[in-house]
């Protein structure tokens, strides 16, 4: 499993943006080709930041984070380097985030400067990459965005039906509807395959009803599929939908 360092940095930004959702905090980072920079209080030169969080009304970040997409653990020098950066931009809190973790020395050095060291694996980062889509699909509520992101990722990767359903089962109906709609539009083949599997044998009547409804709406309920589902469907509401 691989990931470009640029994509890892953007995933870290989305991960931390989600962490601050619902709070009076603005979160910025380097994205869309635009570097986020803050002029250092000592260096007097622009310092590029992967993630910077600002309290409302403040011009200086209270928190900064750096994503290090390294193939080995981060060490003391990495901590000391970023501690200097955080001090230069006046940040009270800081974090280093990496996929392979940190050495014991790095943890000891980070404790002395009250820096948070966070492990975010490549697998976790790949899911975080879909947080942006989840936010755009369902801006009304942020509680289930991580679950939405996982479901979107699994559909986009053409995962097994069981894996997609497992992710979708964590979602309320409104979020489920948005994810399935997006999947049908952008990843139609695995989305249809999953819906047919749900309509065929999911144990929950409401799940089968919703899957049949989406298949009909997508004009994918052919005569053969309809006959097969009717032959084994026990729920009267689902049968009525199939017969309608």
Position 199 scores a pLDDT of 97
Categorize the per-residue pLDDT at 192 as very low, low, confident or very high, splitting at 50, 70 and 90: very high
Q: Where in the chain is the domain with CATH 3.40.1350.10?
A: 5-122
Interstrand relation of 51-55 and 37-39 (parallel, antiparallel or unpaired): unpaired
Write b or e for each residue in 136-163: b if 16 or more Cβ atoms lie within 10 A of its Cβ, otherwise e.
ebbeeebebbbbbbbbbbbbbeebebee
Q: pLDDT band for position 186 (50/70/90)?
A: very high
Calpha distance 50→39 (Å, rounded): 14
Res. 32: pLDDT tops 90 = no
**pLDDT, mean of residues 119-147:** 96
- Mean pLDDT taken over the chain: 96
pLDDT at 115 over 90: yes
Instruction: Give the pLDDT of residue 176.
Output: 97
Instruction: Give pLDDT, residue 31.
Output: 84
Rg of the chain, C-alpha, whole Å = 23
The yes-or-no verdict on residue 37 having pLDDT over 90 is: yes
Q: How far apart are CA 192 and CA 161, in angstroms?
A: 10
For 200-238, write each residue's pLDDT tens digit: 999 999 999 999 999 999 999 999 999 999 999 999 999
Domain 5-122 has CATH 2.40.50.100: no
Whole-model pTM?
A: 0.91
């Amino acid at each position: 499993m691989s990931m470009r360092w640029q994509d890892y940095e953007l995933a870290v930004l989305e991960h931390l943006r989600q962490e601050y959702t619902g709070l009076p905090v603005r979160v910025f980072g380097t994205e869309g080709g635009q570097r986020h920079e803050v002029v250092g209080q000592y260096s007097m030169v622009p310092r590029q930041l992967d993630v910077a969080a600002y309290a409302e009304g403040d011009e200086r970040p209270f928190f900064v984070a750096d994503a290090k997409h390294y193939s080995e653990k981060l060490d003391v020098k990495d901590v000391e380097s970023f501690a200097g950066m955080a001090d230069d931009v006046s940040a009270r809190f800081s974090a280093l985030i990496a996929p392979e973790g940190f050495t014991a020395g790095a943890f000891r050095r980070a404790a002395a400067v009250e820096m948070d060291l966070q492990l975010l694996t490549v697998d976790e980062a790949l899911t975080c990459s879909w947080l942006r889509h989840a936010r755009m699909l369902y801006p009304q509520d942020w509680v289930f965005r991580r679950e939405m992101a996982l479901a979107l990722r699994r559909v986009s990767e053409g995962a097994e039906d069981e894996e997609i359903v497992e992710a979708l089962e964590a979602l309320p109906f409104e979020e489920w509807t948005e994810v399935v709609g997006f999947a049908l539009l952008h990843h139609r083949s695995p989305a249809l395959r999953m819906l047919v599997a749900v309509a065929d044998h999911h144990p929950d009547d409401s799940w089968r009803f919703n899957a049949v409804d989406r298949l009909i709406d997508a004009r994918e309920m052919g005569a053969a599929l309809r006959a097969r589902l009717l032959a084994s469907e026990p729920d009267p509401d689902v049968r009525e939908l199939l017969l309608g």
